[in-house]
Structure 1
Amino acid sequence: MERQLGNKLILVGFMGTGKSTVSKLLAGRLEWERVDVDEQIVSRAGQAISDIFAESGEEGFRDIESDVLASILADEASSVIATGGGAVLREANRNLMLASGLVVALKADAAQIIDRVQSDDARPLLQGDAANRVNRLLEQRKHAYDFAHITVDTTSLTADEVVAVIMERWGKGKQQ
């Protein structure tokens, strides 16, 4: 089944689960382009994500995110795509991802996520008490990533180990 999922590998997951790091390694391994949805949003909007949130609110940001995701998935180039943690909140985005390639959900336990993101001031959803916000958002999104073809728990794995697990489960583990 997985071999028929085209030339897109789409990483989804809560913030701090390793999507950006793993996407770089996977793209290198596959010799595919790497595309980070959040980076594309910043580039196209000409402003930081925190500024978009401040100016347009979360709903406005999600509109931009959906448009950017759709254009990335429509591109014919083989690519590894790192999505923002909330890209899965819209059903249309989930359906488009599933129709466009292999969707891999990265997850980690709350303590690991908090450790990874607590000092990141660029995350607008974490303003204030990061630990409390992470726990609340994790509870709200506990099933948001269940639609993915593959799920990998990154809590106790290195980024290279995560890549190896994805390649193995995708059926490309023996290839270079």
Structure 2
Amino acid sequence: MKNLVLVGFMGTGKTTVGAALAASLEMKHTDLDDAIVEWEGRSIPEIFTDQGEAYFRDVETKRLAQLLAVGSQVVTTGGGAVLRKQNVEMMLEHGIVIALHATEEELIKRLEKDTGRPLLAGGVATRVKTLMAERAGVYDFAPIQVDTTGKSLSDIVLEIKRQVVERTQDGEQ
């Protein structure tokens, strides 16, 4: 089976959904951010502080290529992984891409509890609104789109599995 690649804005549930999806399909789950932390030997906030976002994005692209080459796994990405055309092309070539979405209000509620996100410095609500505006449409390339707002984890996983099966039966990506 091809890789299943989950993309979406931060807080949409990519890592949580990816782990549950992988378990239900008996596939390996790899979180791109975790793989970067392991490779770099330091946290993402430390990478941003020490080297900057451009360096982080370079590492992200290299690590994504390595992970996608393995095949047959669920790969969850950071929210900004789709900002590089090269990453999008790799995801589409080596996987079935699933974009997770949630309402702005839901994202703010989820992210207010998370202190480890460098791009949210300066106030969660303000940054979420700004980043969502900047990233409008960047996840539209994904052939499978799933709204996670107000849905249970099991319902989200079932919806993804249903859409993946439909696409594979239709001979699509």
If the length of structure 1 is used for normalisation, what is the TM-score?
A: 0.92
Corresponding residue number in structure 2 for 1:119: 113
Q: Structure 2: how far apart are the matches of 1:119 and 1:163?
A: 23
- Listed one character per residue, the Cα deviations across residues 59-84 of structure 1 (whole Å, up to 9, x for unaligned) are 111001111101000114x1001000
**Runs of at least 4 residues off by over 6 Å:** none
Q: Which runs of 5+ in 2 are unaligned?
A: 167-173
Measured on the aligned residues, the alpha-carbon RMSD in Å equals: 0.9
Structure 2 partner of 1:60: 55
Match of 1:109 in 2: 103
SS of residue in 2 equivalent to 1:171: helix
Identity %: 46
| Counterpart in the other structure of 2:82 | 88
In 2, the alpha carbon distance for the partners of 1:24 and 1:119 equals 20
2-structure distance, mates of 1:132, 1:105: 23
Equivalent-residue separation in structure 2 for 1:119 and 1:64 (angstroms): 27
The equivalent position to 1:26 in structure 2, one of 21, 32, 43, is 21
Instruction: Give the secondary structure class of the aligned counterpart of 1:20.
Output: helix
TM-score (norm: length of structure 2): 0.94
For the residues of structure 1 that align with 2:58 and 2:115, how far apart are their CA atoms?
23
Corresponding position: 1:72 with 2:67: yes
SS state of the match for residue 78, structure 2? coil
Offset of 1:120 from its aligned partner?
Answer: 1.2
Q: Residue type matched to 2:106 in 1?
A: Q
Equivalent residue of 2:17, what SS?
helix
For 1:18-54, what per-residue CA distance to the aligned partner results, in whole angstroms no more than 9, with x for missing partners?
1011011110111110000000000000000000000
User: What secondary structure does 2:20 align onto?
Assistant: helix
Question: Following the alignment from structure 1 to structure 2, what is the Cα–Cα distance between the partners of residues 169 and 73?
Answer: 21
Q: Distance in 2 between matches of 1:105 and 1:151?
A: 5
Match of 1:146 in 2: 140
Q: How many residues align?
A: 166
Residue matched to 2:170: none
Unaligned runs of 5+ in 1: 1-5
- Report the CA distance between 1:119 and its aligned residue: 2.5
